[in-house]
Amino acid sequence: MRGMRDYLARRWQVEAALWVCYWHALGRDDRYSVRYCAGHSLLLSVFWLVVLIGGLMALGTVVEFLQGGCR
């Protein structure tokens, strides 16, 4: 059990470092680092997937409102 806990702790540290790396690279406009950090981070993939789904849901809400809510 301890091995699994150590693995998860190390993985969380790596994810946190990649998250910081990604946002700093965006600020520097360093495309190579952005691509590297995004490609190796599960947390960033989940973050952008949630952003995409949220955006599509918001767009759907606006379209639904415009179709039937303006009466």
pLDDT in tens, the chain (71 residues): 788 899 999 999 999 999 999 999 999 999 999 999 989 998 999 999 999 999 999 999 999 888 886 55
Task: Give the pLDDT of residue 68.
Answer: 83
- 29 phi and psi angles, rounded to 5 deg: 60, 45
DSSP 30-58: -HHHHHHHHHH-HHHHHHHHHHHHHHHHH
pTM: 0.71
Task: Give the pLDDT of residue 67.
Answer: 87
Task: Give the pLDDT of residue 69.
Answer: 67
Give the three-state DSSP class for 13. helix
Give the three-state DSSP class for 29. coil
Handedness of CA 38, 44, 49, 51 (dihedral sign): negative
What residue type is 47 in one-letter code? Answer: F
